[in-house]
Amino acid sequence: MKIVLPAALTGIVTGIILAISRAIGETAPVLLVIGGGYINSWKPLDPVSALPLSIYENAKSEWPSLRTEVWGIALVLVVFVFVLSLSARIWASRKQQAR
């Protein structure tokens, strides 16, 4: 374990970060199956809907302003997943160079 774990650590951490970013983007189907509620609040400590569920609910709205809001929410998700993926790759490459 003293050899295997350090050698595999970068791959394990990268996999965990990528799994978290993938789970963030795929919560809407799960929330719809378990009955997730669509709640919006501007108070930071109140519960709110997941971003994918907000995309789903606003995309089928009859108001154009809510449909355009979907693009902003999608951009936030894409940027968040991109930052997580990029940070995982940078961290893994630095760990590989340190050896």
**CB atoms inside a 10 Å sphere around CB 81:** 16
Specify the pLDDT at position 84: 82
pLDDT tens-digit profile of 71-81?
A: 998 898 888 88
pTM over 0.95: no
Using CA atoms, how far apart are residues 17 and 6, in angstroms rounded to an integer? 17
**CB atoms inside a 10 Å sphere around CB 52:** 21
